[in-house]
Amino acid sequence: MNGYADGHCDTIVKLFEQKQELFQNDGHLDVKRLKKIGAPLQFFAIWLDPQYYPISMRQTMKYIDFYERQIAKNKETIGHVNCFADVLENKKKNKISALLALEGGEALEGELSAVRIYYRLGVRAMTLTWNHRNPLADGVAEEKSYGGLTQFGREVVKEMERLGMLVDVSHLSEAGFWDVVRVAEKPFIASHSNARSICDVPRNLRDGQLRAIARRGGIVGINLYPPFLAKEKPAEMADILRHISHMLTIMGEDSIALGTDFDGIDSTPGGIRDVGDLQAVFACVEKEFGAEAAEKIFSKNLLRVLEEVL
């Protein structure tokens, strides 16, 4: 494995809150460990704890400022991504690519203009909801309300696509998901979700949802959070392979990617401690499904979507 593309980690928020540095820390990933994996692409999500919802935009700005300062401190080895050409340029220089994302439309505070402002600040993807209801839509924790996208949510999806931002449906209610299918015109992603047929939890996607994402040319990122991989036992490598196998059957090999959720999860599957162990995961996927499928899952599929949308 020469690099990878991962659609989700919560490292920036964790480092900010714990006053640690991106170069080296005691979390799941840092620049020091990433440098050993070629020139990977890592999405860095900004997630807001619900305690910050009353000051969503203010807190998001603090995280973005922290992200920018960390990138600047490590500019010789990591570069921010505004467009797909930046990924190629970073790879040419053997640098890590960092893509800034928002996890939850709370950060917009109900303002469509905020989408454009965040875009100018370098945000290139946004998960529409976290688990709860926000001005855009209902999250998976509101599933019984059967609420989908609001009118504002529809406007946000259209504006994101116009600008060249990835629409992310992880955490979104099922009704909201199908509204995105109807509203979106470009490929969209579920950055960190698994197969609900294999592990029946609300955060995972049903087979119909997986097919819809594949038909639209999007991707679903495999989430390493053990309770999303297996319900009644400790998750291990075999469970990751089980989800991939099912998704290959439902979606094909062009629609699966990585969405590790590193630093946003409090445990990992057996045999996986941090980003350094992705090499072992790749080796298992390659052995089980072949080199071509492994390369698509670990980088090519997400890169293809970035090239099309950004």
Average pLDDT on 80-106 reads: 98
pLDDT surpassing 90 at residue 118: yes
pLDDT at 212: 98
Half-sphere exposure of 151 (CA within 13 A, CB side): 0
pLDDT at 1: 85
Beta-strand relationship, 256-258 and 166-168: unpaired
Residue with the two structure tokens 């996986």: 272
User: Looking at residue 171, what DSSP letter applies?
Assistant: T
Mean pLDDT of the chain: 97
Average pLDDT on 73-82 reads: 98
pLDDT at 143: 83
Please name each of the domains of the chain with its CATH number: 5-309 (3.20.20.140)
Dump the DSSP string for 198-239: TS--TTSBPHHHHHHHHHTT-EEEEP--HHHH-SSS--BHHH
pLDDT tens-place string over residues 9-44:
999 999 999 999 999 999 999 999 999 998 999 999
Contact call for residues 39 and 90 (beta carbons, < 8 A): yes
- Single pTM value for the model: 0.97
User: Looking at residue 259, what DSSP letter applies?
Assistant: -
Q: Which two tokens stand for residue 302?
A: 């997400």
Question: What angle, rounded to 10 degrees, do the helices at 278-289 and 237-251 form?
Answer: 50
pLDDT tens-place string over residues 253-301:
999 999 999 999 999 999 999 999 999 999 999 999 999 999 999 999 9
pLDDT tens-place string over residues 122-171:
999 999 999 999 999 999 999 888 899 999 999 999 999 999 999 999 99
pLDDT tens-place string over residues 44-69:
999 999 999 999 999 999 999 999 99
